[in-house]
Amino acid sequence: MLNNDIDNLTEPSLLNWQTQFGLSIQNNKECTVSKQSRFSIYKNNVFHSLIEALSAQFPVCRQLVGEDFFKGCAQVYLSNKLPDRADLILIGESFSDFLKDFTHSKKIPYLAQVANLEYTRAKSLHSEDLDCITHEDLSTMDITVLQQQTLIFHPSVFLIQSDFNIFSIWKGHQPNQKMQKSVINTKQNTLIFRDEFRVACIEIDQALFTCLNFWINGQSLIKGIQNTIEVFPEFNPTQVIEFTFSNPLITAVK
């Protein structure tokens, strides 16, 4: 049965053999451990499956550049760096950075930021399950104590500030949606969090972004509000507290 030693008469160590095998898959070079044409099946399997995984992780990026361009990008990205972990649920951690510097995608300057939004959504989806403080819980708390406390955000909560209107771009490429605005070189703020089993993606104004950012970075409830009002005098703290505790954003106060 499988006894034909047809390729390697020198019998290198297993580590060396696997390293050569791996390099031959990753680089588009002739395989040094096997001259058999069927070696290409392994190479195809590796790249096809990983490109499919990237494609599933970055569906809007794929739509923006088209199937062929996306596959080409993904092939170059993977040839430079294969995943370092076997679970593919968070594949593409550095894909956004890659797109930022990739010569052929520089014509689409917002692409890397859309990739960042899509990857952040994946992180949010798979983050830890923790109960959140509800509006009802809030009503039982001593407000004088609460305002001096810091808010602990749910691990699914992320804030993204982008140079382009990437939230609009992302939303416009969801099923049954159309782009409401054209791509513009203007800042947009996105709040991402998990609500039950779906990831919510919401555009928020600069004042809310600023306040949430102060809180995420450890400022007390009252300090975060005061510092936001300094920058945005029209800021309405009641509305922000209402919004924050109406959504599953806060797991604890301390």
| Residues found near other proteins in the complex (CB under 8 A) | 1-9, 11, 13-15, 17-19, 21-22, 25-26, 34, 36-42, 45-46, 49-50, 53, 82-90, 125-130, 155, 194, 197
Alpha carbons within 13 angstroms on the beta-carbon side of residue 236 total: 5
For 16, the token pair is 């060396």
The DSSP secondary-structure symbol of 187 reads -
Nearer to other proteins, 29 or 38 (CB): 38
Cβ of residue 40: shortest distance to other proteins, in angstroms?
A: 7
**Are 51 and 78 within 8 A, CB to CB?**
yes
Nearer to other proteins, 26 or 161 (CB): 26
Cβ of residue 182: shortest distance to other proteins, in angstroms?
A: 34
Residue 232 CA: distances (Å) to CA of 115, 133, 226, 243:
30, 27, 10, 17
Nearer to other proteins, 87 or 136 (CB): 87
Nearer to other proteins, 43 or 223 (CB): 43
List the one residue out of 220, 165, 161, 169 whose CA is nearest residue 192: 161
Place of tokens 């009002």: 229
Nearer to other proteins, 19 or 206 (CB): 19
> How many angstroms separate the CA atoms of 97 and 111, rounded?
10
Cβ of residue 72: shortest distance to other proteins, in angstroms?
A: 19
> How many angstroms separate the CA atoms of 180 and 168, rounded?
7
Cβ of residue 83: shortest distance to other proteins, in angstroms?
A: 5
> How many angstroms separate the CA atoms of 137 and 248, rounded?
12
Nearer to other proteins, 125 or 146 (CB): 125
**Could you give the maximum distance between any two Cα atoms of the chain, in Å?**
80
Cβ of residue 198: shortest distance to other proteins, in angstroms?
A: 8
